[in-house]
Amino acid sequence: MKYSYLLLLLLCLGCKNFETKKISSDEIVEEELKEFNWQEVEVYPSFRECESFTETQEKKTCFEQQFALKLYQSLQQKKVVLSDSIQEKMMLFISVNAEGKPKLDSLETSALIEEKVPQMENWLEESIHQLPKIYPARKRGIPVKTSFKLPLVIASE
């Protein structure tokens, strides 16, 4: 008889531990947004040549190398005659929208390049628009806009 009272007491007191707390969808979304890193993407933009890479860093490196290579190849077709040799660095600020379209946002360049090769910005914009298909970056499976900067060295002998 003592055991049955003890068992009944345990059942009554133990049921409080099995209560479930209901969480609203707003609370779940709010918690997710706190943990969400808006500065990072899960999948970087890529060219067809980079699609075989599975690691995030490999894919990012491949994209940057392919982007630079394709840009250099396009710029090499432009013929520029300079009287002096130059070696200057430029910084391109580029974005790739959610549809995979690249755009030259801005350009940091030296006064020497602006003086010697005034059409450089137009050539860069033209080269960027001629790039092959770019697969956009994705965050949680959704295509998103990304921005990056690319150093470019202009050298002539």
Q: Is 1 helix (H, G, I), strand (E, B) or coil?
A: coil
In a domain, 121, yes or no: yes
Indicate the pLDDT class of residue 12, thresholds 50, 70 and 90: low
Contact between 74 and 91 (Cβ < 8 Å): no
**CA trace torsion 50, 125, 39, 141 (10° rounding):** -50
Question: Any bridge partners for residue 43, and if so which?
Answer: 138
In a domain, 11, yes or no: no
In a domain, 66, yes or no: yes
Look at residue 136 in the predicted model and tell me its pLDDT.
92
In a domain, 92, yes or no: yes
- Measured distance CA(131)–CA(99) in Å, rounded: 14
For all residues of the chain together, what is the average pLDDT?
A: 81
Residue 14: pLDDT above 80? Answer: no
Q: What percent of the chain has pLDDT over 90?
A: 22
- Total of domains in the chain: 1
Look at residue 139 in the predicted model and tell me its pLDDT.
84
Residue 28: pLDDT above 80? Answer: no
In a domain, 36, yes or no: no
pTM: 0.70
Mean pLDDT for 54-70 is 88
Q: Is 21 helix (H, G, I), strand (E, B) or coil?
A: coil
Q: CA angle, 133 as apex, 46 and 118 as ends, to 5°?
A: 95
Residue 95: pLDDT above 80? Answer: yes
In a domain, 25, yes or no: no
